[in-house]
Amino acid sequence: MTITLYHGEPNGPSLTVLAALFEKGADATLERIDLAAGERHGARVPHAMEVDHSIEGEGPVLVVDGIPMADSVFLACYLDDVGPGPALCPSEPYDRWRMMTWCRYIVERVAPAAAYLGVAANPPARVPQGVASVDLAERWSDAVAGKIDDARRADSHDKIVQAVERIERELSDGRDWLIDAFSIADLESYAWLAGMTELVPEAFADRPRTAAWLARVMARPAVARALAMATSAAPEHIWAPGPEINRWG
């Protein structure tokens, strides 16, 4: 089995997958790409329908024996299946359900908000060539043009506030991690929220359990190693168009 990971700066979905790879000690070749310049759409990265139409937007691509795969949570699940390191998913079905529904909440409600605010604060320079998905191409044009909708910005802000409230509540029984043992839920939540501490500071004010949890995730050797791969001074400022904000309920 040969694995190659094409990843961007350690922020958002690239951070999830890099850290999962290091947590699991899976053998992979790392290829750095500039997600924020749209390099995923160019000739350097293998293409597949599942990458072109991944609704995560700009995220890392994992190529396993020639098969290009996308979507950070599911890539992390894949690495959990194949890597030798300690499990990143619970073993009991009910706890696995808790992890999957938590990740679904992050992916569906929080990631679009974080990407919207992140891109608004750090707009990409130009729209890349060859974006196959029509709606992703539109998010690129809007981001480059600085076309920010006030209602969406406000809604995204609320979503970040709610996410931190939810984490604070979740950890209120004194747990260290979101689903009992450390899991992909911690990685995915951290990866999208780390850059929000600066953009939505009010959400994190007076949230001691969340602050301690963020510090715990950041201190994990695998996360530290992923963060140390940054080529920019502040990887949490590097954003590219992400998942869309729900069109329907």
CA distance 178 to 63: 29
Q: Which is nearer to other proteins, 151 or 205 (CB)?
A: 151
Kindly state the smallest distance separating residue 192's Cβ from other proteins, in Å: 16
* 3-state secondary structure at position 68: strand
Q: How far is the CB of 73 from other proteins (least distance, A)?
A: 8
Binding status of residue 248 toward other proteins by CB under 8 A: yes
Q: Per-residue x/- marks for other proteins, 93-132, CB under 8 A? A: xx-xx--xx--x--xx------------------------
From residue 203, give the alpha-carbon distance in Å to each of 73, 87, 137.
24, 31, 30
Tell me, what amino acid is at 202? E
Of 6, 22, 74, 182, which lies in the binding site for other proteins, with binding defined by CB under 8 A? Answer: 74
| Residue 69 in the binding site for other proteins (CB under 8 A) | yes
- Closest CB to other proteins among residues 62, 217: 62
Residue 7 sits at φ, ψ, to 5 deg, of -130, 160
Of residues 37-56, those binding other proteins (CB under 8 A):
49-50, 53-55
Instruction: State in angstroms the smallest separation of the CB of 26 from other proteins.
Output: 11
Give the binding-site size for other proteins (rule: CB under 8 A). 34
3-state secondary structure 121-185: HCCCCCCCCCCCCHHHHHHHHHHHHCCCCHHHHHHHHHHHHHHHHHHHHHHHHCCCECCECCCHH
Cα–Cα distances in angstroms (integers) from residue 34 to residues 118, 123, 124, 194, 244, in the given order: 16, 14, 11, 20, 20
Pick 82 or 121: Cβ nearer other proteins? 82
* 219 makes contact with other proteins (CB under 8 A): no
Nearest approach in angstroms of CB 108 to other proteins is 6
**Does residue 146 interact with other proteins by CB under 8 A?**
no
Interface pattern 79-98 for other proteins (x via CB under 8 A): --xx----------xx-xx-
d(CA 27, CA 248): 40
- Taking the complex as a whole, the smallest distance from the CB of residue 188 to other proteins amounts, in Å, to 13
Q: Are the C-beta atoms of residues 70 and 51 closer than 8 Å to each other?
A: yes
Task: Label each residue of 31-49 as H, E or C.
Answer: EECCHHHCHHHCCCCCCCH
Tokens linked to 168? 């604070």
Site for other proteins, rule CB under 8 A: 49-50, 53-55, 64-65, 67, 69-71, 73-75, 77-78, 81-82, 93-94, 96-97, 100-101, 104, 107-108, 134-135, 243, 246-249
